[in-house]
Amino acid sequence: MSEASTVHEDTVMAAIGAAVEQGRAGDRAEARDSLTRLWESVGENGDALHRCSIAHYLADLQDTVADELAWDQRALAAVTDLDDERARRFDESLQVRAFLPSLHLNLADAYRRAGRPDEARHHLAAAAVGLDLLPDDEYGSMIRTGVTRVSEAVAAASQEPLSA
């Protein structure tokens, strides 16, 4: 996201971004701790954009599929409380429906790795419904490719993590 598209400064979203970058730089444990502290400070009933974002990124930092699945479920639950008006206060280009393919893809992959192919197929179908909402850019391509790769893994009955 560019600086120009930011509508209002949001210190929690900035902290989430910093933690995500920390994780991408290889410090998964500290990133997980930072996001967990943010989750505790936001609370189960806090701002939906914050809850969705924290849970979405925390899922990727878990050591077990069960923990990852729990955070992916929290992210999807939080998005139901989020509306475009709130999202656009953070970034005027955001559309909540466009979050859904990624959230469902993550759930599909976690369910697949947990040996629950029926749930994986359900979330793959839900992800596919929103693919047309994604931009024709690197992010959209990544999600579309992810849906294809997870679908192929489900069809092959694979529970192995997908390579990057």
pLDDT in tens, 13-72: 999 999 999 999 999 999 999 999 999 999 989 999 999 999 999 999 999 999 999 999
Could you report the per-residue pLDDT of 91-117, keeping only the tens digit for each? 777 788 889 999 999 999 999 999 999
Domain ends where: 52, 84, 116? Answer: 84
Does 49 share its domain with 108? no
Q: Is residue 63 part of a domain?
A: yes
Provide, rounded to the nearest whole percent, the portion of the chain with pLDDT above 90.
79
- pLDDT bracket for residue 133 (50, 70, 90): confident
Can you read off the two tokens belonging to residue 63? 């050591």
Rg (CA), the chain: 15
Q: Supply the range of the domain harboring residue 106.
A: 95-164
- pLDDT bracket for residue 4 (50, 70, 90): very low
Q: Is residue 35 part of a domain?
A: yes
Number of domains, the chain: 2
Give the per-residue SS3 of 25-46: CCCHHHHHHHHHHHHHHHCCCC
Model confidence at 128: pLDDT above 60 = yes
Does 49 share its domain with 111? no
Model confidence at 6: pLDDT above 50 = no
Does 74 share its domain with 114? no
* Residue 36 CB-density burial (10 A; 0-12 exposed, 13-18 middle, 19+ buried): middle
Mean of the per-residue pLDDT values of the chain: 91
